[in-house]
Copies of this chain bind each other. A is one copy, B any other.
Amino acid sequence: MMKKIEFSQIGVINTPFKEQKGIPIQASFGEDIEASCKIFEEYSTGLKDLDCFSHAILIYYFHKCKEVKMIARPYLEEKEHGIFAIRSPYRPNKLGFSIVKIKKIDSDTVYFTEVDILDGTPLLDIKPYVKYFDHRDNTRAGWIEKHFIDGNIPDKTILNNK
């Protein structure tokens, strides 16, 4: 039974990235990038005590991505994979997920680094990153593993298309 579920934008993410080109493929590759998200007034009291966390999980809407693909090519390689085995925005629900490093919180605005998000992106949720909840040992990262073997960082960690 297919069901539509409606969410409300809770704020906006402001970053230096006005286009896809130049954006790191993942937040962890954007450690020197500074950005912020401004929370709409009715939700801003929800930020209380987030400043005691070093990192936050942002969940947001890939608002510029209009296409849906079930099989797609990730940025790191030529081979195609199922959309649920890659982190591409071409997913059926355009939900983005980034772990960012909190620098400062100033009433309704969270300032952060480790940024892979387009400017103007609608924010849907913020959750505190908690290593006791969110870290996993003994993981295996499928087709991605070979690109990071022996501590290697692949060349293609910054988007260069479009």
Residues of A within 8 A of B (CB): 1-10, 26-28, 39-40, 43, 45-57, 59, 61, 70-71, 81-87, 91-93, 95, 97, 99, 101, 122, 124-136, 138-144, 148
Contact = CB atoms under 8 A, between A and B. Distances in A.
A142 B26 contact: no
A132 B95 contact: no
Nearest to A124: B93
B6 A53 contact: no
A46 B59 CA distance: 21
12 contacts: A48-B81, A50-B84, A52-B85, A54-B141, A87-B128, A92-B125, A95-B124, A99-B136, A128-B144, A130-B144, A131-B139, A134-B134
